[in-house]
A = this chain, B = another copy of it.
Amino acid sequence: MQDLFTSFSLQVNNRVYIKNPESSALGRKIVESSINLIDEVGFEAFTFRKLGLEIHSNEASIYRYFESKYKLLLYLTSWYWSWMEYRIAFGLANIPAPEERLEKAIKLLTENIELDGSFEHINEYKLNKIVIAESSKSYMTKEVDQNNKEGFFAGYKQLVGRVSDIILEINPTYKYPHMLISTLIEGAHHQRFFAQHLPRLTDAVNGEDAIIEFSKEVTFKAIGAKWPIK
């Protein structure tokens, strides 16, 4: 993948940043180190001052890229959903059966993410941990309607829409495709967090990824499709 798409870069709504961080070395460094730092200290304790110290740059310089740490978080989550859509687009290419496409999409959406190295300055493994633990803080705010109007959640909504469409291909009468998919995406994230920190809220099963299995099974049974597929 690296070799084929070295210059590939993902689109993020340009209103979440003041200056595109992809456009300069400092910008990329800000993104790269913000992922490390948020992963390390958590979003609450993360500040632009600390980030500036970490990258031997200046707080004021960071503010020229992002209006606030919330906008930076929105940037990271938007990037993540855009990346996820690209993963799914490639992962589902040339699979004709909608059942198989749905199964694959759910796997891609709910699996544990590993470092994949396609993007120099983005650690997908840590970004996934941030999305799991912090992304709800990017929309569970009083500014959600304003942010939504500006299109900050477009990537996420589009992704949910695409997967819902596969469900409707399989069962055109299913009434709750968006609910099902958004519930399972958020649910899988919560389950990964719980598995680490509040295991009594989950059910670990040896030798399989219970979260993926659970998600697939729930989906296919909910929409009344055959499970397992074959």
A residues lining the B interface (CB < 8 Å): 41-42, 44-45, 133-134, 136-137, 139-142, 144-145, 148, 153, 156-157, 160-161, 175-180, 182-184, 186-187, 190-191, 193-194, 197-198, 200-203, 205, 210-211, 214, 217-218, 221-222, 224
Judged by DSSP, the binding face of A is: helix
Residues of B within 8 A of A41 (CB): 142
Please, how many angstroms separate the alpha-carbon atoms of A89 and B156 in the complex?
Answer: 38
Least CB distance from A170 to B in Å reads 15
Query: Are B142 and A198 in touch, CB under 8 angstroms?
Result: no
Query: Are B179 and A203 in touch, CB under 8 angstroms?
Result: yes
Residue of B nearest to A201 (CB): B182
Known: A183-B191, A221-B221. A137 touches B139 (CB 8 A): no
Partner of A198, one of B153, B176, B180: B153
Query: Are B176 and A214 in touch, CB under 8 angstroms?
Result: yes
Residue of B nearest to A134 (CB): B140
Known: A44-B141, A137-B137. A202 touches B178 (CB 8 A): yes
Query: Are B197 and A182 in touch, CB under 8 angstroms?
Result: no
Which residue, of A140, A161, A180, has the highest number of chain B Cβ atoms within 10 A?
Answer: A140
Least CB distance from A150 to B in Å reads 13
Please, how many angstroms separate the alpha-carbon atoms of A161 and B201 in the complex?
Answer: 8
Query: Are A136 and B136 in touch, CB under 8 angstroms?
Result: yes
Query: Are A142 and B45 in touch, CB under 8 angstroms?
Result: yes
Please, how many angstroms separate the alpha-carbon atoms of A214 and B176 in the complex?
Answer: 7
Query: Are A198 and B139 in touch, CB under 8 angstroms?
Result: yes
